[in-house]
Amino acid sequence: MIGKCTDRLISVLDTRTQEREFDVRETLKRYSMDVIWNCAFGFDIDIQQKDDDLDYFLKSEDVFKKTESLNIFSFISCKKKEINKNGRVIG
C-alpha cells in the first residue's frame, strides 16, 4: 500500500518538476493523506493525482487543522483530573 502511494509520489514529482514550480508542502500532505486513507481505511482515493476532486483532501485537512494544536498537556488538562508524580490518576 505504501509502495503504491510512494510510486504515485515519484510520478507526481517527476511531472510537476518538469512543468512548473509547485508547492512541496501540499504535495507531501497529499502523499501523507493518500497513505493514511489506504492503510487505515482501506480506500484507494489517489488524492495525489486528482486536482479536480478535493472533497477527501479538504475534509482530511480540516481534521488535521482541528487537532494540530492538541498536545499531551492540553489533553490531560481537559480531563479535569490530577495526576500524581507516580502517574496515577486522582479524582
Between 78 and 41, the more confident residue is: 41
Q: Quick one: angle between helices 24-36 and 55-67, nearest 10?
A: 90
Average pLDDT for 71-75:
56
- Cα-flanking dihedrals φ and ψ of residue 83, to 5°? -115, 125
Confidence of residue 80 (pLDDT cuts 50, 70, 90): very low
As given in the structure block, the three cell numbers for residue 2 are 505504501
DSSP tag of 63: H
pTM for the structure as a whole: 0.61
CB atoms within 10 A of CB 74: 9
